[in-house]
Amino acid sequence: MPVMHFRIRWPDSKEDICYSPSTVVGDFLTPGTHYPLDDFLKRAREALGVASERVRQKYGFACSSAMDQLARIEMEAERFTSDPHAKVLVIDLG
């Protein structure tokens, strides 16, 4: 399965490189797009959930790394939930 990394910028300008076990994340996130925090979280949950399920279909078990990445994203996002204008920029996919 081709692995994909995606680089994001949080509302405080901190950047993170995130992991996906599948290129399916490209179906949910577009480089150069600023997503409202809630929308970004929804897309990340869907993308990493689908990616993990693809691993399950191929290998018989879910991808714990995808779920760990989602947990890190959700934990980081907690810092911005009080800001109704918070946006996450998807810098690139690769």
- Tens-place pLDDT, residues 56-79: 999 999 999 999 999 999 999 999
The pTM score is 0.95
Structurally, how many domains does the chain consist of? Answer: 1
Is the pLDDT assigned to residue 1 strictly greater than 80? no
For residues 30-57, give the mean pLDDT: 98
The domain of 15 spans: 4-93
The predicted structure's pLDDT at residue 6: 98
Alpha helices in 1-94 (DSSP H): 37-59, 64-77
Rounded-to-integer distance, Cα 51 and Cα 53, Å: 5
Work out the percent of the chain whose per-residue pLDDT is above 70. Answer: 99
Average pLDDT over the chain reads 97
Is the pLDDT assigned to residue 30 strictly greater than 80? yes
The predicted structure's pLDDT at residue 10: 99
